[in-house]
Amino acid sequence: MGHPVFDTASVVAALHGVRREWREAQQRSSEPGGREFPSRDALTEVVKSLKGVLFPMRLGPVDLRQESEDFYIGYTLDAALHALAAQIRLELRLYDSSKPAERLQAQAQSLTTEFAQTLPAIRRLLDSDVLAAFHGDPAARSVDEVLLCYPGILAMIYHRLAHQLYSQGLPLLARIWAEMAHSQTGIDIHPGARIGSGCFIDHGTGVVIGETALIGERVRLYQNVTLGAKRFTTDAQGHLEKGQPRHPILEDDVVVYAGATVLGRVTLGQGCTVGGNVWLTQDVPPGAHVTQANARQERAAPASVAQPLAFNL
């Protein structure tokens, strides 16, 4: 008694000092002001609404009835779009805080409108993903089961929405959605990756797909597959060269089995198959079957001498 149990005040002061150092180092203002930054919570709500908008009778509210779907969608979508526009404005402001508020607002609305108009196409793509999973997995009993249970489908819902934002120049919002999917499914798809219709990721835990990956139609991937980059190239000054295509291209109907690693801007030709745990840094011709055995031989060959020792995604 007589003095506080914990010397909270001194910890507060010390934390204050650390924050000040950080802000000075980062050239951040220490001035009064609120958080002007996109909100994970707000985006969680938006994506929850959009899931209901896309699949009202499966991911919408339990008491929804088919005859009032459009009412539900209209209301939910409108509210979600306004909430999304507010987040878009916050991201735009990060890139140019000097822009007048009205300009930011108008730009955010315009981007939101554009986003909204892609939703029907996104639904159509997701339908193709659901069918691909249904046809690709002998254990699947119905398309509804696939939609409700398969982590690969959940990851595609997030990805196709996030990729749209990414394509519109909103990488931060896109990233937040991508990481939500990653946390829930263990599937880590960079929102920049372009993925064709009918994509099926089975099991999924540990899958990593890099920013510039190009994936064709009807591609199937299993758990722990990495579609990564090799070591980053640097320019004459030693700076990383950004934005270069550096992840694999998978043409239509490619299958990559569990644990396989494909690195660099290589092309897996149409219909080829990459076996489990295969380590691959070269092109594969259409229709080929790559296994650990023949992949190892390649690596032993002189051609592979040129392979980089390390890689990165």
Positions 113 through 142 that interact with its own copies (CB under 8 A): 113, 116-117, 119-120, 123-124, 127, 138-139, 141-142
Residue 253 CA to residue 286 CA, distance in Å, equals: 10
Residue with smaller CB distance to its own copies, 167 or 291: 291
Tell me if 87 contacts its own copies by CB under 8 A.
no
Residue with smaller CB distance to its own copies, 32 or 98: 32
Q: Return the residues of window 92-111 that contact its own copies according to CB under 8 A.
A: 94, 109
Tell me if 301 contacts its own copies by CB under 8 A.
no
Tell me if 54 contacts its own copies by CB under 8 A.
yes
Tell me if 166 contacts its own copies by CB under 8 A.
no
Residue-level length of the chain: 313
Give the count of beta carbons closer than 10 Å to the beta carbon of residue 59. Answer: 18
Residue with smaller CB distance to its own copies, 175 or 195: 175
Contact pick of 46, 47, 77, 165 for its own copies (by CB under 8 A):
77
Reading the block at residue 312, the tokens are 């990165």
User: Are the C-beta atoms of 136 and 147 separated by less than 8 Å?
Assistant: no
Contact pick of 172, 227, 250, 254 for its own copies (by CB under 8 A):
172
User: Between the CA atoms of 246, 252, 255 and 256, what dihedral angle is there, to the nearest 10 degrees?
Assistant: 0
Contact pick of 24, 44, 82, 245 for its own copies (by CB under 8 A):
82
Tell me if 312 contacts its own copies by CB under 8 A.
yes
**Rounded to the nearest whole angstrom, what is the least distance from the CB of residue 283 to its own copies in the complex?**
18
Nearest in space to 187 (alpha carbons), one of 198, 201, 174, 177: 201
The one-letter code for the residue type at 137 is D
Residue 230 CA to residue 214 CA, distance in Å, equals: 16
Between the alpha carbon of residue 292 and those of residues 279, 286, 305, the distances in Å are: 7, 18, 18
Contact pick of 87, 164, 223, 282 for its own copies (by CB under 8 A):
223
Number of residues that bind its own copies (CB under 8 A): 132
Q: Return the residues of window 11-40 that contact its own copies according to CB under 8 A.
A: 11-12, 14-19, 22, 26, 29-35, 37-40
Nearest in space to 150 (alpha carbons), one of 134, 166, 167: 134
- Residue 240 DSSP label: B
Contact pick of 57, 96, 103, 297 for its own copies (by CB under 8 A):
57
CA terminus-to-terminus distance, the chain = 57
